[in-house]
């Protein structure tokens, strides 16, 4: 049987050293490698979400400062 490529989500094989306790924990699950991938994927998505949220907050603060500066300039005229 010919293997097909997963076009949507290509996988990369990596060699990773992790503590034995972590491996023991995941090996209690039916498909432990899939569970490990899911945990890593969720963590990365949370980090990306946090970065985008932080970026939005910085942009909002910059806009507030800009509006405050414009208001101050308008009051002086």
Q: What is the pLDDT of residue 20?
A: 92
- pLDDT band for 63, please (50, 70, 90 cuts): confident
pLDDT over 70 at 3, yes or no: no
Residue 46 in any domain: the answer is yes
Q: What is the pLDDT of residue 66?
A: 80
Is the entire prediction scored with pTM above 0.85?
Answer: no
More confident residue, 36 or 74: 36
Cα gap 69→32, rounded to integer Å: 56
Number of structural domains (the chain) is 1
Residue 57 in any domain: the answer is yes
Residue 32 in any domain: the answer is yes
Question: What is the phi-psi region of residue 22: left when phi exceeds 0, alpha when psi lies from -120 to 50, beta otherwise?
Answer: alpha
Question: SS3 of 26, please?
Answer: helix
Give the residue numbers spanning the domain of 38: 20-76
pLDDT tens digits along 7-58: 677 889 999 898 999 999 989 999 999 999 899 988 888 888 777 777 777 7
């Amino acid at each position: 049987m010919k293997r097909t490529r997963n076009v949507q989500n290509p996988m990369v094989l990596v060699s990773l050293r992790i503590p034995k306790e972590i491996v023991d924990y995941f090996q209690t699950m039916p498909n432990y490698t899939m569970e490990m991938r899911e945990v890593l994927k969720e963590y990365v998505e949370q980090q990306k979400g946090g970065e985008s949220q932080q970026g939005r907050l910085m942009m909002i603060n910059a806009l507030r400062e800009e509006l405050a500066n414009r208001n101050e300039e308008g009051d002086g005229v």
